[in-house]
Amino acid sequence: MMAGRGAHMAAVGGPARHIPVMLSEVLHALEPKSGAIIVDGTFGAGGYSKAILEAADCEVIAIDRDPEAVAAGRALAAEFPGRLRLVAGRFGAMDEIVKRQGVETVDGVALDLGVSSMQLDEPERGFSFMKEGPLDMRMSKEGPSASDIVNTLSAGELAEIICKLGEEGRSHAIAKAIVARRAEAPIETTKELSDIVARVLGRKRDEAKHPATRTFQALRLYLNDELDELARGLSAAERLLKAGGRLAVVTFHSLEDRIAKRFFASRSTPARGSRHLPDSTAQALAPSFRLLNRHPIEPNQSEIRQNPRARSARLRAAERTAAPAHGLDLSALGVPQISFGM
Ligand SMILES: C[S@@+](CC[C@H](N)C(=O)[O-])C[C@H]1O[C@@H](n2cnc3c(N)ncnc32)[C@H](O)[C@@H]1O
């Protein structure tokens, strides 16, 4: 699925305002207290930041890589003078970002992955096959666009992206069709790409998902380096959180959730055979988190009814222990490795 969500409340002529997903569950996991400093690594429309600031007399350092989200968030910062710092950047570098703010450790980190409703529902951003627009998909509005990718990579490279990041079984056929079509004219719009994919896959009558769903997800994840970012963000949060601090992560599709699941599993169980290791090694591998829930939390039916884009959300949350942070191992976390650079 495409990982964006937020109910359809579009004001006439504008994109829908993002509705925060599993807000009360995330707040419950973070447990903000007076004097705490919490990182909201995916500010978006500021739904989580606002609720955290209202829940306790704490501070929020909010990060978003989308300059439009950061600019729109200035109004919220003005509502909470001196309590909301908004930074344009990537959450994969949150420890450097937070340290540049003069803060060494924090009490909580929230990550709400994927794209916001503002991004998904704004045709100009090119994230959705449901809206005709330029084939863009860049969260940060910098670097190569999805159109650059589909018009320049080889068929083999496109197939690798679509297979590994979209888990699409017909990736080679789709890549071949893209290369054949661009030989006539460059592929420049979301509709052009979704039509190419739909022609290859056809559409079964009972199919709930649009045939282009997986291909669009794959290009978006590749272009924005989203899965590597997730692994780096989890690892940065592990370094930043003080003992007793909370990490809450909301995922929206299986590739994201696998990374979060493996991260929390590897950090919450003692390494095999650690009883027989020298003290210093056992200490380095000691659990750095205690899970708050054994299984991920899912949204309730009433939230899904009100906000259908919440339906695939999974919340995983844990409390930091005093053990040292572990090293980052992308392949152990299940981050798909792409064999060529961007
Ligand atoms: C689902 S929205 C967050 C919505 C937010 N929780 C709210 O309640 O309004 C995800 C946001 O995270 C941002 N984002 C995604 N990946 C990011 C990254 N690696 N670093 C910083 N921001 C990121 C996107 O630009 C988007 O604005």
What is the whole-number distance in angstroms between the Cα of residue 82 and the centre of ligand 1?
Answer: 22
What is the whole-number distance in angstroms between the Cα of residue 112 and the centre of ligand 1?
Answer: 6
The finding on whether 91 has its CB within 6 A of some atom of ligand 1 is: yes
The finding on whether 114 has its CB within 6 A of some atom of ligand 1 is: yes
- Given this model, what pLDDT does residue 21 score? 98
Q: Which residues contact 112 (CB under 8 A, 6 or more apart)?
A: 20, 21, 26, 42, 44, 48, 250
Name the residue among 227, 204, 203 with its Cα closest to residue 217.
227
Residue 233 corresponds to which tokens in the numbers above? 């963000």
- Given this model, what pLDDT does residue 13 score? 47
Task: For strands 59-64 and 37-40, give the pairing.
Answer: parallel
What is the whole-number distance in angstroms between the Cα of residue 137 and the centre of ligand 1?
Answer: 14
Distance, C-alpha 68 to centroid of its chain: 17
- Give the closest residue (by CA) to ligand 1 atom 4: 44
Distance, C-alpha 114 to centroid of its chain: 4
The finding on whether 261 has its CB within 6 A of some atom of ligand 1 is: no
Q: Which residues pair with 62 in a beta bridge?
A: 40, 86
What is the whole-number distance in angstroms between the Cα of residue 27 and the centre of ligand 1?
Answer: 17
- Given this model, what pLDDT does residue 282 score? 72
CB-neighbour burial class of residue 338 (10 A; exposed 0-12, middle 13-18, buried 19+): middle
* Per-residue pLDDT tens listing for the chain (342 residues): 333 443 333 334 455 689 999 999 999 999 999 999 999 999 999 999 999 999 999 999 999 999 999 999 999 999 999 999 999 999 999 999 999 999 999 999 999 999 999 999 999 999 999 999 999 999 999 999 999 999 999 999 999 999 999 999 999 999 999 999 999 999 999 999 999 999 999 976 556 789 999 999 999 999 999 999 999 999 999 999 999 999 999 999 999 999 999 999 999 998 777 667 777 777 778 999 999 999 999 999 999 999 999 999 999 999 999 999 999 999 999 999 999 877
Residues 326, 55: Cα–Cα separation, whole Å: 31
- Give the closest residue (by CA) to ligand 1 atom 15: 114
pTM confidence score: 0.93
Per-residue 3-state assignment (H helix, E strand, C coil) for 312-334 = CCEEEEEEECCCCCCCCCCCCCC
The finding on whether 73 has its CB within 6 A of some atom of ligand 1 is: no
CB 295 within 8 A of CB 312: no
Name the residue among 52, 31, 29 with its Cα closest to residue 40.
52
Q: The tokens 């003078």 sit on which residue?
A: 81
